[in-house]
Amino acid sequence: MIKLKSDQEIDDMKPAGKMAWDLLEALKLMIRPGISTQEINDFVHSFTLERGGVCAPLNYKGFPKSVCTSVNHVVCHGIPSPKEFLKDGDIINVDVTPIVGGYHGDASRTYFVGSNISLVARRLVEATERSLQLAIEAVVVGGRVGDIGATIQEAVEGLGFSVVRDFVGHGIGKTFHEEPQIPHYGVRGRGIRFEPGMVFTIEPMINQGGYGTKVLSDGWTAVTADGKLSAQFEHTIAIRSTGKVEILTGPY
């Protein structure tokens, strides 16, 4: 069942969304060659707690860290490690979910590490970010969830990239994952209708090669089946009672 939110509840979610945005902005200054993904985790953890938040990923269904760090061919749910160091030319997705006032703010961004970024990596990241922007614009009251997936596919498949099928966006609020599920592939005009009060994430994962993925033995880390690059961007959005679509996770 979809938990529709009042405008007041949407307002109550904004501090969590702002913290997610602030985290991702702060990470722009931190991510560079030579740092470990554990250092990113520790920064996110401290930043969140110092500002009165809680890191939702920590111990969620057994996840052992406070943030997901997904490097190069890792699609999502990468586990930070003191043994994993970023290199010049890498790309890394950092997925943050602070809880503030009982509500979740879920967002992610893919960063370039250093300056020696390959052309294909740059094109992949830029196309992924653009697909999210277009998908948000496709959300209108009376439209359908399939409009999101169709928009994302149209944005990236013509460039030779593919859309991951195995992981989806989701409703969110006081619970981390709620209905509805938001696939990033689909047919325009199909699926659940958008209506005021819906709050959900859109988080396209776009692969350089095929859309297949596999989960490693740790039970969390999802990687591309062909070992090629993957990128992701994510925002939490809300539909107001007026029909206005608002991005709760920024920019602020």
* Domain residue ranges of the chain, discontinuous segments joined by +: 7-247
Q: Quick check: 130 and 161 in contact, CB under 8 A?
A: no
Q: Quick check: 90 and 71 in contact, CB under 8 A?
A: yes
End-to-end CA gap in the chain: 31
The closest of 229, 215, 94 to 161, measured between CA atoms, is 229
Residues 6+ apart with CB under 8 A from 12: 101, 102, 103
Neighbouring C-alpha atoms within 13 Å toward the C-beta of 70: 30
The closest of 50, 63, 48 to 16, measured between CA atoms, is 48
The pTM of this model reads 0.96
- Name the stretches of the chain with pLDDT < 70: none
Pairing of strands 222-224, 230-232: unpaired
Backbone dihedral angles phi then psi of residue 139, each to the nearest 5 degrees = -85, 115
Q: What is the CATH number of domain 7-247?
A: 3.90.230.10
Buried b (16+ CB within 10 A) or exposed e, 96-129: bbbbbeebbbbbbbbbbbeeebeeebebbbebbb
Q: What's the confidence (pLDDT) of residue 252?
A: 85
Please give the Cα distance from 183 to 146 (Å, whole number): 8
